[in-house]
Amino acid sequence: MVADFNKKENSRFFNRNLLFKTVGTIFLIMIAVLIVADFKIYQKKQELEYRINNYKKQIEGIQKNSQTLKEEIANSNNKDYLEKLGYEQFDVTRPGETEYMFIKNQQKAETSATHNNPWDSFIAGFKNALYWIKNRF
């Protein structure tokens, strides 16, 4: 009888230990799954917030464009506004007007940007003066 009692107690202990380990493992797996799901939800939330901000910027741009178009429609009958648009956008000139274009010397702008020495600018100015005198005579 004593031997049967020890077998029953060992089997109960083994069953409880196995049950505890199984439940603990399932619990840890569930926690891991929930953490992964939470991370995925966080990533999705960040993506959606980025999209919302992007759409808000697009809406603001469209509203500004809409306001500009409304102003242009309102001024479409204004002769001064149409003349201004003609000058700015279409390079329209009146008969007898002369159009002048000023082109900045690219090489001169690069040299002045790269040199900060005052003597270099003085020498460059002196060379330009000599070049001007040479071309005049």
Residue 33, pLDDT score: 96
121 pLDDT more than 80 = no
- pLDDT tier at 104 (50, 70, 90 boundaries)? confident
Region 7-35 average pLDDT: 83
Residue 1, pLDDT score: 45
**pTM attached to this predicted model:** 0.43
- pLDDT tier at 113 (50, 70, 90 boundaries)? low
Alpha-carbon 110 to chain mean position = 30
- pLDDT tier at 29 (50, 70, 90 boundaries)? very high
Angle at which helices 106-114 and 118-136 cross, to 10°: 160
Region 41-64 average pLDDT: 96
* Signed CA dihedral, 5, 7, 8, 13: sign only: positive
Least confidently predicted of 1-5, 60-64, 92-96: 1-5
Cα angle, residue 80 at apex, residues 77 and 86 outer, rounded to 5°: 95
- Look at 38 and 135; give whichever has higher pLDDT: 38
Please tell me the distance from the alpha carbon of residue 78 to that of residue 31, in angstroms, as a whole number.
70
